[in-house]
Structure 1
Amino acid sequence: MDKTDRIGFAGFFIACLFLAFLVGSYVILARVFPYQYFDDAYKAFHAVVEQRSVSNRYSQTDQWRPARTDKRRVTIYDPKRAYNGYTLYTSAGGSYAALIDMKGQEVHRWSLPYSKVWQKTPEGHDAQSDRLIYWTKAVMYPNGDLVATYISAADTPWGYGLVKLDTDSNVIWKYHGATHHDIDITPDGRVLAISNAFSSQVLPEFPNLAKPHLEDFLVVLNGKTGKPIKKISLLNAYYNSRYRPLLETAPSQYLEDPLHTNNVQYIGAKLAESFAPAHGQAEQALMSFRTPSTVGLIDIKSGQITWMARGPWLAQHSPRVLANGHFNVFDNYGHFRQGNASRLLEIDPKTLGIVWRYHGTPQHPLQSRIRSEIQQLPNGNRLVTESDGGRLFELTPDGTIVWQFINPVRGGDHDQYIPVICSGHRIKPDRLTSAFRSELEKQ
């Protein structure tokens, strides 16, 4: 090949590269074939790299936060004003749930590493290591049996499965679906859970929806066997309802997770009568959709959305209907105060007006970007799970903290990190069976 040929070949090669650049740019900008294949491949590759590159779970996951205090366990306790009982909580420190007394002493623990149950995720790929998997929610039965849901950091879908255990942490049944966030149990024993999965479905009136995206489901399980009874696509229910326009307002950076459902509460006959949006119709579930900042009801039988509301909250968790017909909600982002950005709200569903609120104090700030819960207690107090703070606290209606528990677990080179507390629930001892109560009293 002489000099002229070499120059010609080089020019041809450069021209081919430039043409490939132009074609590639057009494919990317216009999103025409084969853009979707390249985009899916890139996302899959990026996800795998991200999932397998966690070298420091304290700083690279949402499991741990910088500890705000060196104090541990119970730091405030007013026995006369608190609703005394046991408190069940789950923590990102591991796949366990702990039951503590009012002084913060652990009286029982359920624990089962994910690797003892499954080796693969519900999607079929290798599961993350046990150090990145934990229980996000646990619900205890009166006899000490427990239902708990696994999730993982640094993986998508993050839901990993659901188990029912006896008091000795032996498996009664297991459900290998991508369950996450929340669980509720109906009076007749069914288990309501939230799961998700990758989907590439196209919704014509929602053109900006990412492909693929996470599709959330309401899953109904048989409480005795763990077998699925029903599975409802929440995205399709939302899309096919009159509330579809609310989907279009979702922030563009969250269109790969368009709902991020994080709450389920069963609405039976009693609550359906008091909660006006239910119109007296039982067999519904109250759901929380974080991405569009909405709260809604879904009819479990028909799978249809019957009511939806967007109110004075932002990226909320834990809406719970109260006996008075109002509902509580943990408003994660709606307070807009530096270092104190969260608040607790009681909402009248008829007006969406705030009838009670609490937003922390300089001494006890309230700020959690993720998770968090509120449980209304029979004496009028509220048990609050502030996940980012790694704490549980009981609050009176006038805003006084009468009990506070801070996660005793620490991590890092100087114990500077605290695992988030994912859920907390107060249980009156007389709600337990005599056999299990006797076992706890021996501790």
Structure 2
Amino acid sequence: MQKRHSKKIIISVLFILFIFGNIISSAMSPALDNNTINSDKSKINSFDSKIISYDKDSNDENLPLPSASNLKIEDISGGIGLTFIIKNDGELDISEIDLNIETEGLYVKKFTNNRTDISLLPAGNSKKISFRVFGFCFGEPLVYNRFIITINAPNITTMKRILLVNVIGPIVEVIAINMNDGESYDGYTLFTPEYSTETYLINKDGKIVHSWKSDYILGLGFHLLENGNLIRNCLTEINPAFPLNGGTGRVEMFDWNGTLLWEYELSNDHKCLHHEIEIMPNGNILMLAWELKLANEAISAGRNPLLLPAGVIWTSFVIEVEPIYPTGGNIVWEWHVWDHLVQEYDSTKNNYGVVKDHPELIDINFGIPLGLVDWNHLNSLDYNEEFDQILISSHVQNEIWIIDHNTTTDEAAGHSGGKYGKGGDLLYRWGNPQAYQTGDADDQKFFGQHDARWIEKDCPGRGNILVFNNGLTRLDTFYSSVDEIVPPVDSDGNYNLEKGFAYGPKEPIWSYTAEEPTDFFAPITSGAQRLPNGNTLICNGPNGIFFEVTLDKEVVWKYTNLHPNTVTTQAAKIDLYPPDYPGLGEFNIEQVNNAPGGKYNSFIDFIFNILKDCNILFSNLLNYINNL
């Protein structure tokens, strides 16, 4: 009796193991049903693919050629394996579609073939694709654990989706969906996540090709120099006199291998570096800094006492520093906002005047300071070598300003001298004519903008100005845009202004917003860069999302930052460097770009083989028992 009971237990255990083996086998095999189109191998091979819809006539000979904008990859999702839809929403059939999926990372085994050929995807049709894997990989999504979907077809640029994933058994969790389509501009993107001590250089597939590590978290500004050195500002500690966001206090330079070459600090009770830095052609560095003004100083400059709730005010200035290696530097030029003020509040002060009559000056009583103290909150710098001018973004005034750099420091403090005869007064301003009483709220164009920069000479729009317009205080609704404006400047760098009117232009010549504007909103930081092929690289700072759009506003590249962690992934700005940029140092580009993927650990492979063998064994054993 006991033997018979033991025999039942053994058979029950074997049966449970058999069921488990079949479940695993099912999870590792493609799911097929009667609607799956794989019986006709001329149509589709390897993947599970289902027709979703067909509702368009594709026989019109006058229709244009299909394009990448007609072929879409949608509804990418995890679960038991990976599923997504390929959709042709154009008016022409698309033929000879080559679909390939690769895996990169550790401990992943594929149970669906990598590649399939779709001979025809009629207009209006969609196909559902299923991809099955089994394995264990998680924890380093920027380096490992990626599924790469690549689609090629005649007359259509390559489409690539790069998925950052976790895989646990047959379960796939999609962490982020990046893209790298054929119309994107090749190069390497430099960024430093906020609250991170590391700076990364990534290729277009999102692989880290190089990195630098500091002892301090980023302060917002960084550049890769043509000699391969990295310069970045950073925050050593919060200055109690200047505790708001954007404060830095330190600039440091590393060589390509990460050796600290130079450091410069300015952070005390009266002054503190903040936000951005800009490299000059002569190797000097432009830096933004705050300076503290007490209530009596502000009132002496015509500030309304009612606009001093904190009893102090911060204003900004620009310094040009000549580095002294390995520590320190000489300030060889400087420009202060405080030297270029106008006000209508106190007629007893020297700077009293009609604001509207002085667009070259800054109204000390205009604008609501951030944190009640930061009156300008300048947040970006750019330098124009052709005109020897500096472009500044003023967050509080919702304006960009241009000043003459071809001055002595004394001339920069006055209203005459320099290349343009205006000393340090504003040569140009744009974004909010209310700041100089030449417009109303309907005329305001910028809303808490960042990263104003001239478009480089080798890019479409050369000499125009590109600005990330955060849209923080728009009157209608909150959304962000990237705006390109054509300043009214002649070949010598002089800006046209008709007396009594606002500076032109009336509107941006080009602007990017999301198709549904509120889908793209970055209230802080962020930036944009025009690329040589006409595309625009955009950084959605608070969300840590970088993407590239064509002049037709089609997204052709996207990268999701997951550093330093999945909770805080902000990145204030990004810069792209072409493959032939001199500053790209010693790393094997080919090895990085073509790194093999899809490997799995031999132990995992061993487990898979055991499960397969057990499944066969249990099947044979049950057949034997049934025949007893």
Aligned partner of 1:149 among 211, 233, 242: 233
What secondary structure is seen at the aligned counterpart in 2 of 1:354? coil
How far has the Cα of 1:242 moved from its partner? 4.5
* Correspondence 1:404 to 2:542: no
- Structure having greater relative contact order (Cα 8 Å, sep ≥ 6): 1
* Correspondence 1:172 to 2:261: yes
Q: Which residue of 2 is the match for residue 370 of structure 1?
A: 524
Q: Deviations over 1:57-77 (max 9, x none)?
A: xxxxxxxxxxxx996566111
Q: Which has the larger radius of gyration?
A: 2
Count of matched residue pairs: 338
Aligned-residue Cα RMSD (Å) equals 2.8
Is the Cα–Cα contact under 8 Å of residues 198 and 212 in structure 1 kept in the other structure?
Answer: yes
Is the Cα–Cα contact under 8 Å of residues 335 and 342 in structure 1 kept in the other structure?
Answer: no
Amino acid at match of 2:574: G
The 3 A distance-change label for structure 1 pair 184 and 105 is: same
Task: State which drifts further: 285-294 or 141-150.
Answer: 141-150
Q: Deviations over 1:271-318 (max 9, x none)?
A: xxxxxxxxxxx2220001101111111222232022222341111111
* Correspondence 1:284 to 2:389: yes
* Correspondence 1:100 to 2:202: yes
Task: State which drifts further: 361-370 or 282-291.
Answer: 361-370
Query: What does 1:301-312 correspond to in 2, within 5 Å?
Result: 301=407, 302-303=411-412, 304-305=424-425, 306-311=427-432, 312=445
Is the Cα–Cα contact under 8 Å of residues 75 and 404 in structure 1 kept in the other structure?
Answer: yes
Aligned partner of 1:196 among 270, 277, 290: 290
Q: What is the TM-score of this pair, normalised by structure 1?
A: 0.69
* Correspondence 1:319 to 2:452: yes
Q: For residues 373 and 146 of structure 1, what CA distance do their matches in structure 2 show?
A: 19
Q: For residues 263 and 207 of structure 2, what CA distance do their matches in structure 1 show?
A: 30
Aligned partner of 2:513 among 355, 359, 362: 359
Aligned partner of 2:303 among 180, 197, 206: 206
Amino acid at match of 1:309: W
Q: Which residue of 1 is the match for residue 365 of structure 2?
A: 248
Amino acid at match of 1:181: H
* Correspondence 1:216 to 2:309: no
How far has the Cα of 1:410 moved from its partner? 6.2
Q: For residues 387 and 424 of structure 1, what CA distance do their matches in structure 2 show?
A: 9
Aligned partner of 1:392 among 546, 551, 554: 546
The 3 A distance-change label for structure 1 pair 74 and 176 is: farther
Is the Cα–Cα contact under 8 Å of residues 225 and 583 in structure 2 kept in the other structure?
Answer: no
Q: For residues 252 and 199 of structure 1, what CA distance do their matches in structure 2 show?
A: 13
How far has the Cα of 1:84 moved from its partner? 0.6
Aligned partner of 1:421 among 546, 571, 577: 571
Amino acid at match of 2:229: D
The 3 A distance-change label for structure 1 pair 345 and 261 is: same
Q: For residues 363 and 289 of structure 1, what CA distance do their matches in structure 2 show?
A: 24
Is the Cα–Cα contact under 8 Å of residues 332 and 367 in structure 1 kept in the other structure?
Answer: yes
Q: For residues 474 and 514 of structure 2, what CA distance do their matches in structure 1 show?
A: 10
Q: For residues 590 and 323 of structure 2, what CA distance do their matches in structure 1 show?
A: 28
Q: For residues 363 and 242 of structure 1, what CA distance do their matches in structure 2 show?
A: 32
The 3 A distance-change label for structure 1 pair 73 and 87 is: farther
How far has the Cα of 1:321 moved from its partner? 2.0
Q: Which residue of 1 is the match for residue 336 of structure 2?
A: 233
Gaps of 5+ in 1: 1-68, 115-132, 270-281
How far has the Cα of 1:154 moved from its partner? 8.8
What secondary structure is seen at the aligned counterpart in 2 of 1:235? helix
Q: Which residue of 2 is the match for residue 123 of structure 1?
A: none
Is the Cα–Cα contact under 8 Å of residues 183 and 193 in structure 1 kept in the other structure?
Answer: yes
Q: Which residue of 2 is the match for residue 187 of structure 1?
A: 281
Q: For residues 286 and 177 of structure 2, what CA distance do their matches in structure 1 show?
A: 32
Q: For residues 176 and 187 of structure 2, what CA distance do their matches in structure 1 show?
A: 16
Is the Cα–Cα contact under 8 Å of residues 219 and 275 in structure 2 kept in the other structure?
Answer: no
How far has the Cα of 1:249 moved from its partner? 2.3
How far has the Cα of 1:179 moved from its partner? 2.4
Q: Deviations over 1:33-74 (max 9, x none)?
A: xxxxxxxxxxxxxxxxxxxxxxxxxxxxxxxxxxxx996566
Report % sequence identity.
22
Q: Which residue of 2 is the match for residue 126 of structure 1?
A: none
Amino acid at match of 2:548: E
Is the Cα–Cα contact under 8 Å of residues 72 and 408 in structure 1 kept in the other structure?
Answer: no
Higher helix share: 1
Q: For residues 364 and 406 of structure 1, what CA distance do their matches in structure 2 show?
A: 19
Q: Which residue of 2 is the match for residue 161 of structure 1?
A: 250
Amino acid at match of 1:196: W
Q: Deviations over 1:191-245 (max 9, x none)?
A: 1111223232324322245332223121111256451322322333355775445
The 3 A distance-change label for structure 1 pair 193 and 264 is: same
How far has the Cα of 1:335 moved from its partner? 5.3
What secondary structure is seen at the aligned counterpart in 1 of 2:519? coil
